[in-house]
Amino acid sequence: PEHIWGEIPPYNSNLTEFNIKPVGTGPWQFKSFIKDKLGNIKSYTIVPNPRYSGPKPYLQKITFKFYPDFETAVLALNQRSVEGVSFLPKELEDKLNNNQIRAHSFHLPQYTAVFFNQKNNEFLKSKEVRWALASSIDKAKILTEALRLKGEVIDGPILPGYLGYDEDIEKIPYNPNLAKKSLEGVGWKKMNRDEVPTTTLGMSEKDSDNQEYYLTSGNKILQVQLTTVDLPENTKAAELIKEFWQAIGIKVSLELISPARIYRDIIKPRNYQALLFGIIIGAENDPYPFWHSS
């Protein structure tokens, strides 16, 4: 409301008391929080809102505790300092050593996709190149090796159960042979790595690259940089995608960016060629952020 927020400068909005002690109309209300010496919130407690008109909460209190990393959160869970962790990377599930801990999986309203930025890579302006990149990705293998089958293969940005979902949407099947033919059809030709001129591919890259052949056209080599968040699941998926693309002759370099930098340095300035990124879409599927032309 303006009578509360009107005089608060935007750069102070995260720090103001009205933000960390909010007033709302939902079933819960703020009670207390604890900070450390640096001002970081360590715990945050909410209690039922007696003025809420809907169904009353069954619990009398919920306290959220915040940890600097997943490893510390797992330690707190094993030591029974907390009763649950809302999310845990799959590679840390094996570190749960308390036999009373139970893991539950559920579908999240999110998807992960590769986004192409045609402005930063001239090759991506070709529909045939984009189609080849898409059809050469073995999604089932990514699901098995990167996600341990905890997910499902999708074919578009609108998820099942959401307004606008179309189960008959055109699907791009995994077919690396057709991907190769698509690229050959627009002039890309095979060239063994030892035959690529040093002016096209630097010697240091030739020495370190174990790719059998590249696709070339004139003095150009078909290449793309794949950027993703430096998290285990994303990294594993990106490494697999690199293998798939290299298998059809595309030269691929990986760029891993820390979670703290990905939005500021990569997404907001559109500083990527191909971006492997997970999108949380929330209760209403609004594809605007990554799909609107602006």
| Residues across the chain | 294
234-246 pLDDT, tens digit each: 999 999 999 999 9
Tokens 């499902």 sit on residue: 152
Percentage of the chain modeled with pLDDT above 70: 96
pLDDT in tens, 169-188: 999 999 999 999 999 999 99
**274 Ramachandran zone, left/alpha/beta (phi>0; psi -120 to 50):** beta
Angle between helix 176-184 and 127-135 (nearest 10): 160
3-state secondary structure of 274: strand
21 or 117: which carries more pLDDT confidence? 117
Q: What is the pLDDT of residue 147?
A: 84
Indicate the pairing of strand 223-229 with strand 251-257: parallel
Residue 200 has pLDDT above 70, yes or no: no
User: Which pLDDT value is given to residue 204?
Assistant: 45
* Residue-wise pLDDT tens digits, 36-49: 998 888 999 999 99
Q: Is the dihedral of CA 230, 232, 238, 242 positive or negative?
A: positive
Structure pTM? 0.74
Write out pLDDT tens, residues 12-68: 888 788 888 888 889 999 999 999 998 888 999 999 999 999 999 999 999 999 998
